[in-house]
Amino acid sequence: MTTANDNASFEALTFGLQGEIFALDANCVREILDVIQITQVPGADQFVGGLINVRGRVMPLADLRVKFGMDRPPNGDDSRIIVIEIDLNDTPHLVGLLADKVFEVTEIRDSSIEETPDLGMKWHPEFIKGIGKRGKDFIIIPNFDRIFAA
Residue 97 has pLDDT above 90, yes or no: yes
Q: Reduced to 3 states, what is the DSSP secondary structure of residue 26?
A: helix
For residue 148, the surrounding DSSP H or E stretch is helix 144-149
Q: Strand 9-17 relative to strand 101-109: parallel, antiparallel, unpaired?
A: antiparallel
What is the predicted pLDDT for the residue at 96? Answer: 97
Q: Which residue has the higher pLDDT, 135 or 28?
A: 28
Query: Could you tell me the pLDDT band of residue 1, with boundaries at 50, 70 and 90?
Result: very low
pTM of this prediction? 0.88
Q: What average pLDDT does the structure give for the chain?
A: 88
CATH number of 9-149: 2.40.50.180
